[in-house]
Chain A
């Protein structure tokens, strides 16, 4: 049995070095060489300050910003989580087919996107708060969604801030 334990030690050591050290390190180095912004978490910089990650939802509550989807977690802590309410759970909100995703919590609690319908439903509020024409706000949505069926909330709000200046 001594021989087998020795072999197991060699194989385990080799595997750990290859898979647990060299593999992640190689990805670390090549990732940062070629795709540094993405490797660091797709952080967004504005006026020399990090204002968020393009992939992680941040809470928006004021009228002049588009709001994201409901979340089961405190997005400021960065922890992810869903509410895990079953289809038969009494607290589960009814589905609103005119605004997919607007009343249901997301899976991660950090969903950075909303559906176009959900965004369009907020146009009037945002336009009024910003003193803009609704069509101008719609144009921003169209620009940011780029033909897709959903839109990134942070990107949308950054674009609004920029066009307002």
Chain B
């Protein structure tokens, strides 16, 4: 079994790494600042069209202008999506007669999808075809693109280059990157058995003569962008465990490939834009090491406590272990097994991946989180050797470190405070379906997933109530927008500083730096959450011994 796992993991990583190096180069070239951008296919047509749409790229925005346009477009989609979900019952493309969503369900759903979380407190089957395609499929393109534009601006900012123009970056990312990949893999999914139809559900007569409803819809278009964009929401209630979303081993591996693709290409995009390829590979290596720790541990746990409870036969233990580790590492949140039913220690690993949020992390957002740890490491290491800390030739000073500390504190603050409140209030505790230590895990997992914008869940939790919809809406909203804006502010702060023209005291592209960085990520990231992880999954594991 171990040999199957190692071969599967090795092949998957080989294919995704090679592809993401190429994709990183492809994106990096196209998203350099305008003045440095070389010629590429259709460049002139594109410039003409952008001008026609009044999205001229020549004047770069300040980070404040970039952030303002980011917020405006987010507001636009939040309002538009909320309206259509709230009144889907009266709108067309509703052959199965789905009802309007209640206000708190509609609010939770649109915030969930716009923040790239895709936590779902409704059953997937409760939405009309219009809501699934026109609203959610669109938003699943929008959400990862938002994070990627912010990370591009962040990269340009710390590299002392023009920040860029938000709306142009946004539409160009969709046209150059997300749409072409989605079209190809969407068609591949259909060929492998994922349905794509606007027809109504169909009634069949089973071999034993009963009438069975076969629920279907435009699943393939939903599925492909859900994985590629690290969205992770299910078309159906049980997400990618449902045989229509994930019919066989092939779709299972392609989905894992898609989840990893954009997050893995981020360090290479950085390498391309900065011209520091070696640095890009080093960052990639650090993330990969963290990824391997979690993924190997995940398989070891499933292998030592065999059970197919909440799992599907067609994926086997290898396919389930890999998928659940990857979906939490890349902050996608798609699940091919019910995480609630996985062994207790598996829950610990999955929550650990989400709490760190840099084991590749979601497209764009993960890389920015990672750079926060890089800045901390530079700060700590430089002080240890008695030098002025500097990032890419700019001094790291009190202002940046305050913003970094603030960014770091957001996610533990939200996760721990909301979990505490839910454990304290009857509305929170009543949702627990597995008593004892696992009940704490159910609540902790829900908020961790919300704040990290992952979206998977310990789905036994009865979270379809006003209390849960509202608290997780806040957790997702602040967990998304506050760090993204703070991180752009950090880049803006670096950009406004003069270069110090001395030799870099501390090299950031050496093995030593990588080791210190891994240490800092594990110490800062893991220690914050250790006490609560002891109360939840570790206690459950101990009581089972």
Which chain A residues lie closer than 8 Å to B186 at the CB level? 23, 27
Are A4 and B313 within 8 A (Cβ)? Answer: no
Instruction: Tell whether B37 is near chain A: CB-to-CB under 8 Å.
Output: no
Chain A contacts with B in 40-99, Cβ cutoff 8 A: 40-44, 49-53, 55-62, 65, 69, 75-89, 92-93, 95, 97
Instruction: Tell whether A122 is near chain B: CB-to-CB under 8 Å.
Output: no
Name which residue of chain A comes closest to B65, CB basis: A4
Are A50 and B202 within 8 A (Cβ)? Answer: yes
Are B53 and A10 within 8 A (Cβ)? Answer: yes
Are A82 and B241 within 8 A (Cβ)? Answer: yes
Instruction: Tell whether B191 is near chain A: CB-to-CB under 8 Å.
Output: yes
Q: How far is the CB of B125 from chain A (nearest CB, A)?
A: 6
Are A88 and B434 within 8 A (Cβ)? Answer: yes
Instruction: Tell whether B355 is near chain A: CB-to-CB under 8 Å.
Output: no
Instruction: Tell whether A157 is near chain B: CB-to-CB under 8 Å.
Output: yes
Are A19 and B137 within 8 A (Cβ)? Answer: yes
Which chain B residues lie closer than 8 Å to A114 at the CB level? 313
Are A88 and B540 within 8 A (Cβ)? Answer: yes
Instruction: Tell whether A14 is near chain B: CB-to-CB under 8 Å.
Output: yes
Instruction: Tell whether A132 is near chain B: CB-to-CB under 8 Å.
Output: no
Q: Mark B303-344, 1 if CB is under 8 A from A, else 0.
A: 001111111111010000000000000000001111011111
Which chain B residues lie closer than 8 Å to A149 at the CB level? 316
Which chain A residues lie closer than 8 Å to B138 at the CB level? 15-16, 19-20
Which chain A residues lie closer than 8 Å to B87 at the CB level? none
Q: How far is the CB of B92 from chain A (nearest CB, A)?
A: 13
Chain A contacts with B in 137-159, Cβ cutoff 8 A: 149-150, 154, 157-158
Instruction: Tell whether A38 is near chain B: CB-to-CB under 8 Å.
Output: yes
Q: How far is the CB of B371 from chain A (nearest CB, A)?
A: 27
Instruction: Tell whether B95 is near chain A: CB-to-CB under 8 Å.
Output: no
Instruction: Tell whether B377 is near chain A: CB-to-CB under 8 Å.
Output: no
Chain A contacts with B in 97-120, Cβ cutoff 8 A: 97, 100-101, 104-115
Q: Which of the listed residues A19, A39, A113 has the most CB atoms from chain B within 10 Å of its own CB?
A: A19
Are B190 and A56 within 8 A (Cβ)? Answer: no
Could you say which of B211-219, B268-276, B480-488 contacts chain A?
A: B211-219
Q: How far is the CB of B197 from chain A (nearest CB, A)?
A: 5
Which chain B residues lie closer than 8 Å to A101 at the CB level? 308, 311, 313
**Assembled-state Cα–Cα distance A111/B340 (Å):** 18
Which chain B residues lie closer than 8 Å to A92 at the CB level? 309, 341
Which chain B residues lie closer than 8 Å to A40 at the CB level? 195, 197, 199, 216
Are B80 and A31 within 8 A (Cβ)? Answer: no
Name which residue of chain B comes closest to A22, CB basis: B179
Are B179 and A8 within 8 A (Cβ)? Answer: no
**Assembled-state Cα–Cα distance A4/B247 (Å):** 44
A11 with B170, Cβ < 8 A, contacts A78-B213, A79-B215 known: yes
Instruction: Tell whether B174 is near chain A: CB-to-CB under 8 Å.
Output: yes
Are B342 and A87 within 8 A (Cβ)? Answer: yes
Instruction: Tell whether A133 is near chain B: CB-to-CB under 8 Å.
Output: no
Are B313 and A115 within 8 A (Cβ)? Answer: yes
A65 with B208, Cβ < 8 A, contacts A14-B171, A16-B134, A39-B197 known: yes
Are A111 and B187 within 8 A (Cβ)? Answer: no
Are A86 and B76 within 8 A (Cβ)? Answer: no
Contact of A11 among B125, B167, B243 (CB under 8 A): B167
Q: Mark A15-41, 1 if CB is under 8 A from B, else 0.
A: 110111101101110111011001111
**Assembled-state Cα–Cα distance A20/B68 (Å):** 25
Instruction: Tell whether B206 is near chain A: CB-to-CB under 8 Å.
Output: yes
Which chain A residues lie closer than 8 Å to B305 at the CB level? 87
Contact of A8 among B72, B196, B314, B540 (CB under 8 A): B72
Q: Mark B50-79, 1 if CB is under 8 A from A, else 0.
A: 000111000000000000110011001100
**Assembled-state Cα–Cα distance A150/B314 (Å):** 7
Are B220 and A12 within 8 A (Cβ)? Answer: no
Are A38 and B195 within 8 A (Cβ)? Answer: yes
Q: How far is the CB of A35 from chain B (nearest CB, A)?
A: 5
Are B207 and A58 within 8 A (Cβ)? Answer: yes
**Assembled-state Cα–Cα distance A154/B202 (Å):** 17
Q: How far is the CB of A98 from chain B (nearest CB, A)?
A: 12
Are B238 and A107 within 8 A (Cβ)? Answer: yes
**Assembled-state Cα–Cα distance A16/B138 (Å):** 6
Are A41 and B179 within 8 A (Cβ)? Answer: no
**Assembled-state Cα–Cα distance A40/B244 (Å):** 10
Contact of A111 among B53, B220, B243, B544 (CB under 8 A): B243
A79 with B460, Cβ < 8 A, contacts A20-B137, A100-B306 known: no
Contact of B212 among A7, A9, A27, A52 (CB under 8 A): A52
Are B211 and A84 within 8 A (Cβ)? Answer: no
Which chain B residues lie closer than 8 Å to A128 at the CB level? none
Are B310 and A28 within 8 A (Cβ)? Answer: no
Are B438 and A41 within 8 A (Cβ)? Answer: no
Are B197 and A41 within 8 A (Cβ)? Answer: yes
Are B313 and A69 within 8 A (Cβ)? Answer: yes
Contact of A105 among B73, B191, B310, B437 (CB under 8 A): B310
Name which residue of chain B comes closest to A160, CB basis: B207
**Assembled-state Cα–Cα distance A26/B187 (Å):** 9
Instruction: Tell whether A135 is near chain B: CB-to-CB under 8 Å.
Output: no
Are B207 and A19 within 8 A (Cβ)? Answer: no
Which chain B residues lie closer than 8 Å to A43 at the CB level? 202, 204, 214
Are B54 and A82 within 8 A (Cβ)? Answer: no
**Assembled-state Cα–Cα distance A75/B316 (Å):** 22
Which chain A residues lie closer than 8 Å to B543 at the CB level? 88
Instruction: Tell whether B42 is near chain A: CB-to-CB under 8 Å.
Output: no
Name which residue of chain B comes closest to A29, CB basis: B196
Are B243 and A104 within 8 A (Cβ)? Answer: no
A79 with B125, Cβ < 8 A, contacts A43-B202, A84-B458, A110-B242 known: yes
User: Nearest 6 CB-CB pairs, A to B?
Assistant: A84-B460, A20-B138, A107-B241, A78-B213, A86-B434, A104-B309
Could you list some 11 contacts between A and B, CB below 8 A?
A: A10-B54, A15-B174, A31-B190, A39-B197, A85-B460, A86-B441, A87-B305, A87-B344, A88-B344, A115-B308, A158-B207
Q: Which of B's residues lie within 8 Å of A, judged by CB?
A: 53-55, 68-69, 72-73, 76-77, 80, 123, 125, 133-135, 137-138, 141-142, 167, 170-171, 174-175, 178-179, 182-183, 186-187, 190-199, 201-208, 210-216, 218, 220-222, 225, 236-238, 241-244, 247, 305-314, 316, 335-338, 340-344, 433-434, 436-438, 441, 458-460, 540, 543-544
Give me 11 other A-B pairs in contact (C-beta within 8 A), A15-B142, A24-B218, A108-B243 excluded: A7-B167, A11-B55, A21-B133, A58-B204, A69-B313, A82-B310, A82-B338, A84-B340, A85-B340, A87-B341, A100-B306
